[in-house]
Amino acid sequence: MSVWDEVVGQRAAIEQFTRALAPGGNLAQAWLIAGPPGSGRSIAARAFAAALQCEQANGCGQCHACRMVLAGSHADVAVVATDTLSISKDEVRSLVATAQRSPATAPYRIIIVEDADRMSAGTFNVLLKAIEEPPPRTIWMLCVPSAQDMAQTIRSRCRLVTLVTPAPADVADLLARRDGADPQTASRAARAAQGHIGIARRYVHQPEALAQREEAARALLALTSVGGAVAYAQKLVEAANAEAKDEADRVAQSQQEEFLRATGQEAAGRIPPQLRSQLKQLEDEAKKRATRMTRDVIDRFLLDIHSVFRDMLTLQLNAGAEIINEGVMDALQARAEYSTPASSLAMLDAVGTARERIGGNVPPQLALEALLAQAALG
Ligand SMILES: [Zn+2]
C-alpha cells in the first residue's frame, strides 16, 4: 500500500513527485498540477502532500499522518476547494496568512488550491507575493486544468507537473480494485467515461446514469429536423438545470443545518437579525454553485456528444480504434452509413465551437440549438 495507489494512470507524474521527495531531490515550494477534468489532480496533490508529511518519509499510506492527509483532516494541510464560480480575494488573503505560519506538528505546511484557475484576476498579485518568497517549510500546490489557465507570472514560479487523461484500462482497474465492480462493468464504464474517474465511478454506482447516457446518444443519432434539434436542446438544458439544482440544494441544505447547529439555532424561521445576513450569504453562494454546476453538466453532455461523432468517424474510416459508446453500436452503424466522414469531422469541430461559445457566456440553449441543428441536417 502507498499514497499513490489512487493516483491512476499517472506514472510520469508520480515519478516526478517521488524524485522531488528523495534526499537531495530539490523540492520546489510551489507546484502547478495541471490535468484535464477527472484526471485526479486533487487526488494527486493530496497524495503528494501525504508523502511529504509521512512519518515513514516514504508515503506509506498507513501512518497517522498519511491517513489524516488523505482524509483531508491534517492540521498542517489546508485544502481549498471551491464549488462556486470563483475564489474570492478574502479567501486567498486568509490562505496567504495561513501559509506564513510554521507547521504545527508535521514537517511542512501545505496549501492545496483545487481550482486555482477559479481565482479572480485581482487575487493573482496577492498569491504571487506569497509564492515568490514562502517561509522555508511552506509548500503551495495549485491545481488547474491546464498550465495555460494560470497567469504566466505565477506559472513561471511553479514547478509544473502535467497529468494525462488516464487510460480506460487503468480506470477499469481502479473501479474493480476500489469499487468492487465486475471486470466487464468496469471496462464499459471506464470507456464511456473517457478517462474521467469521477464519471466512471458514477456509472458503476448508478447504472441508470450509463443507461441514460446511451439513451441520449440514441436520441442524438435519431435527430432529423431543426424542430427536433430545438426541442432536444431544451430537454438537455432542463436536465442539466435539474441535476445541478438537486446537487446545489443538497449542499445548501447541509450547509444551512451546519450553520444553524454552529450558531445554536433550532429552525431557520427564528434566526436573530444579526445572523440573517450570514444565512443570506449562504443562499447566494448556493445559487452561484448551481450556475456553475449547470455549466459543468452541460459540458459533460457536450463531451458525450463529441464521443458519439468520434465513434461515428472511427466506424466511417474503419480506423479500428475502441468504440466509446459500445451500447449504441447499432444506431451508430446505421447513421455512419448515410453520413460522411467530412460531416462527422465538422460535428467534432462544432462541439468545440459550442463549448467555446458557452465558455464565452452565450446562453447554453442557443449554443446547443445551433450544434444540434447541424447534427440533424448533417
Ligand atoms: Zn505514511
HEC string of the chain equals CCCCCCCCCCHHHHHHHHHHHCCCCCCCCEEEEECCCCCCHHHHHHHHHHHHHCCCCCCCCCCHHHHHHHCCCCCCEEEECCCCCCECHHHHHHHHHHHHCCCCCCCCEEEEECCHHHECHHHHHHHHHHHHCCCCCEEEEEEECCHHHCCHHHHCCCEEEECCCCCHHHHHHHHHHHHCCCHHHHHHHHHHHCCCHHHHHHHHHCHHHHHHHHHHHHHHHCCCCHHHHHHHHHHHHHHHHHHHHHHHHHHHHHHHHHHHHHCCCCCHHHCCHHHHHHHHHHHHHHHHHHHHHHHHHHHHHHHHHHHHHHHHHHHHCCCCCCCCCHHHHHHHHHHHHHCCHHHHHHHHHHHHHHHHHHHCCCCHHHHHHHHHHHHHHC
Q: Which three cell numbers stand for residue 144?
A: 488547474
Location of C-alpha cell 495541471: 34
**pLDDT-derived band of residue 366, with 50, 70 and 90 as boundaries?**
very high
User: How far apart are alpha carbons 47 and 35 in whole angstroms?
Assistant: 15
Q: Name the nearest CA neighbour of 103 among 74, 70, 63, 64.
A: 74
Between the CA of 26 and the centroid of ligand 1 the distance, in Å, is 21
**pLDDT-derived band of residue 103, with 50, 70 and 90 as boundaries?**
very high
Q: Which residues are within 5 Å of ligand 1 (an ion), measured at CB?
A: 54, 56, 60, 63, 66
Between the CA of 267 and the centroid of ligand 1 the distance, in Å, is 43
Sheet holding 30-34, edge to edge: 77-80, 109-113, 138-144, 30-34, 159-162
Mean pLDDT of 173-188: 91
Q: Write the class of the CATH domain 11-162.
A: alpha beta
Q: Which of 103-107, 185-189, 307-311 has the highest mean pLDDT?
A: 307-311
Query: Please, what's the b/e burial string for 5-15 (b: 16 or more CB within 10 A of its CB; e: otherwise)?
Result: ebbbbbeebbe
User: How far apart are alpha carbons 166 and 35 in whole angstroms?
Assistant: 10
Between the CA of 63 and the centroid of ligand 1 the distance, in Å, is 4
Between the CA of 135 and the centroid of ligand 1 the distance, in Å, is 24
CATH architecture of 226-377: Up-down Bundle (1.20)
Q: How far is residue 353 from each of residues 80, 228, 243, measured CA to CA in Å?
A: 31, 21, 24
Q: Name the nearest CA neighbour of 219 among 326, 299, 305, 294.
A: 305
pLDDT at site 172: 94
- Give domain limits for the chain: 11-162, 168-205, 226-377
pLDDT at site 261: 76
Between the CA of 279 and the centroid of ligand 1 the distance, in Å, is 40
Between the CA of 1 and the centroid of ligand 1 the distance, in Å, is 10
φ/ψ of 110, rounded to 5, equals -120, 135
The yes-or-no verdict on residue 211 having pLDDT over 80 is yes
Between the CA of 56 and the centroid of ligand 1 the distance, in Å, is 5
Q: Which residue has the higher pLDDT, 173 or 121?
A: 173
Between the CA of 18 and the centroid of ligand 1 the distance, in Å, is 14
**pLDDT-derived band of residue 269, with 50, 70 and 90 as boundaries?**
low
Between the CA of 71 and the centroid of ligand 1 the distance, in Å, is 13
pLDDT at site 268: 58
Lowest mean pLDDT segment, chosen from 30-39, 264-273, 274-283, 344-353: 264-273
Between the CA of 152 and the centroid of ligand 1 the distance, in Å, is 35
